[in-house]
Structures are given as C-alpha cells and as structure tokens.
Amino acid sequence: MTPTHTLPTDLLLRPVAADDLDALQGLAAAAGPGIGSLREDRVGLGRRIEESLQAFAAEDEDTSGEERYLFVLQASGSESGSGSGSGLAPGRLLGCAGIAARSGYGSRFYSYRNEFIVASSAALGLTQRTHTLHLCHDLTGSSLLTSFYIVPGAPAAAAQLLSRARLLFLALHPQRFSDRIVAEFPGLLDADGASPFWDAIGRRFFGMDYPQAEALAGGRSKAFIAHLMPQSPLYVPLLPEAAQSAIGQLHPDGELPFQILIDEGFDADSYIDIFDGGPTAEGRLQALASVRAARPLAQLATQPNLACTRDRAGFRARLVAAGDAAADLGPQPLATPLQLPESV
C-alpha cells in the first residue's frame, strides 16, 4: 500500500488547456515514437487540444462518438489535506492520457484476433492445433484509452492517477462512451528499432518500414492500411520465429500503463495490434476494479484514494489522503481506493 505520508496530493489531473501546447509538445517529444497517438507534431497537437476542448465542452446531446478527450497531469504546488507534495515545480506537466469516445469512428478499427484451429486426420493418427490471426473489426465502437505518457521518475501513485482517473470519468459519463474499453500497447522492437511482426507481415503488403506506416496511420485512419493487409487468417506457424515471438509481446515502454490496466481486470490475450503485434487490452467498464470499487469519497475516507469531481467540463482528479474530505473537488467527489483490494 502507498503510505499516506508519501502521497503526492499536489498532483492534479485536469483536461488539457490551450496554453498547454508547449508543455504537451515537450511530453510528446519525450514519449518517442512508441506512442502512436502522441506524436511530436505541433500542428497536430494543437488540433488535438482543440478537439479535447470541444469534447469536454459538448453537451451530451451534441456528442457523436467522434470526441477525443485529453487529460494532463500537473504538479499544482498546493498540497492538500494530510498528504505530501511531489517536490515537483508547480505548473509542470508530468504526463498525459486520453480517451477516444468510439474507436474507428466513421471507419473501422482493425485488430488481429487470436484464434486456434484444430486439424485432425484419423487415418494419419494426427491432431494439430494451429494459432491463427484474424483481421477483424471487433473493437470498432469501443472507447479507446490513448496517449498515456508519464515522465520518468514520477511518483508511482501519479501513474495510477493518470491512468485510472480516466476510468472514473468514463463511469461518470456513460452516455458518451461504450461500456467496452480498449487500450493498445506498443509491441516489441528489435535492437535496431524494427518490428519483427511488421517486417514479417505488414512490410510484405505495405512496402514500407513500420515507422513510416505508423506515422501515416497516426494522422489517418488505420483502415487504409488494412486495405493492403490479407483479409484471410494468418497462419502463425508460417511466420518467421522472430515474428511469432513478437505476437502479443509488450515493448518495455508500455509496461507501466499495461500493468495498471491488467490490474484493473483488462484482458490482453484476445487481440493484437495489426502494426507491431503489441497487445490490445479490453475490458467491460463496469467490471473494472476501479469502477466496481468507486464510491462517494465519504464512504472510503479511511484510506488513500483517487478522487474526482463529478462535473465534465471542469473535471479534476487527484490523490486524496485518508481523512481528507477533498473539498476542492466539489460536492460528493467520486473516489476509488488507490490500492485496489485483491478482489473487489
């Protein structure tokens, strides 16, 4: 359990603002190419901020599923309750995380689905189980957790706040989102930065390097790439061993956010990314640990919590020490335990 006396209660999660552009660009530069939804492209980031401002401001009846929300984690410099400060300079952005209301909006969201087929011949006395990958649109329309990045060395609880506050936001505004939540994670790269999965599959049909293709997809729908991919199942045994080994394997950069979602109850065995074979995690919102444990803060006051406001446009979330009423989070903040029980 995270001790109360080290709880960085001065970290504030809030919607991105127009004047965050410089800081956001700095985060994107530090994030590197592994996070396809957070590219160091000032024009693109500016557009991303504008989209997020519109999404948070939109009334429920004006939403279509196209909305993309972006949150930032900021050192506020003002310690709250009985917690402690992070020691970080006030105003500094420590990270960001997003939500796309509906994946593949207006198009299709492609994944490979892991399946197994069993062949048998009585005459030969043989049975063989074969791993296959099926190009599919199963996750189209799911709500997508995107753009997670937190600066190295940030307090562990900060990553929990940055990732899981999104789940509380989803729970507070279910009419805007799917109850099926999905998150893609970067796949394994070799020592040269090449993706063995891409080299074995995508390159054969797409004729370019993985970073080039991912950059194109970052600015456009992935669907256009799928036009060049085989529509029939891929038989995994036909792939080179390096590609087979990369299926569902996580790039080290993704370990922290991946583990947070796995601890929430996400499943990461069914789908993989069509670019690099990285795992795609999915879960049902109401089954996620943070959502199942969510209560009014007053009911969870004896432990450190992650708490948030209930309003949309002025959404705020922070870590709250035991006994802290978090008056700054408005009436009846929604909270979930920072340390989730083994079985909620």
Partner 1 sequence: MKPTFQIVQTTVAPPEAPPAHEPGGWWLCAQASDGRLLGALHGLPEQGRSRARCSFHFGRVVHSAPELGLYQVQTTLQLGHDATGEAELSGLFLSAAAEAPEAVADALLQAALARLADADTPASWVIAELPGWRDAAGCSPFWDGLVRHFLPPGSLDAADAAQRHGPAFSSHLGEMLPRELIHAAFLSPAAQQALGRCADSHTTWLSALQRAGFADWRHGRIEDGGPLLAAPRRAGERRR
Residue 295 as a binder of partner 1 (CB under 8 A): the answer is no
For the purposes of burial, counting CB atoms within 10 Å of the CB of 87, is it exposed (0-12), middle (13-18) or buried (19 or more)?
exposed
Residue 204 as a binder of partner 1 (CB under 8 A): the answer is yes
Residue 294 as a binder of partner 1 (CB under 8 A): the answer is no
Closest by CA position to 304, among listed 157, 154, 162: 157
Closest by CA position to 296, among listed 311, 312, 307: 307
Neighbouring C-beta atoms of residue 65, cutoff 10 Å: 16
The whole-angstrom separation of Cα 80 and Cα 73 is 16
Q: List the structure tokens of 320.
A: 């709250």
Closest approach of Cβ 227 to partner 1, in Å?
5
Region at 129 (left for phi over 0; alpha for psi -120 to 50; beta for the rest): beta
Residue 126 as a binder of partner 1 (CB under 8 A): the answer is yes
Q: Of the ranges 62-70, 82-90, 224-232, 309-317, which one interacts with partner 1 (CB under 8 A)?
A: 224-232
In the bound state with partner 1, the residue whose beta carbon lies nearer, of 204 and 295, is 204
The whole-angstrom separation of Cα 226 and Cα 28 is 26
Residue 6 as a binder of partner 1 (CB under 8 A): the answer is no
Number of residues near partner 1 (by CB under 8 A) = 29
Neighbouring C-beta atoms of residue 116, cutoff 10 Å: 9
Q: Of the ranges 142-150, 200-208, 262-270, 297-305, which one interacts with partner 1 (CB under 8 A)?
A: 200-208
List, in sequence order, every residue forming a beta bridge with 146; answer none if it has no partner: 98
Instruction: State which of residues 237, 252, 314, 323 lies at the interface with partner 1 (CB under 8 A).
Output: 237
In the bound state with partner 1, the residue whose beta carbon lies nearer, of 195 and 305, is 195
For residue 251, indicate whether it is catalytic: yes
Q: Of the ranges 70-78, 95-103, 220-228, 261-269, which one interacts with partner 1 (CB under 8 A)?
A: 220-228
Interaction site with partner 1 (CB under 8 A): 117, 119-121, 123-124, 126-128, 130, 132, 204-207, 216, 224-225, 227-230, 232-235, 237-239
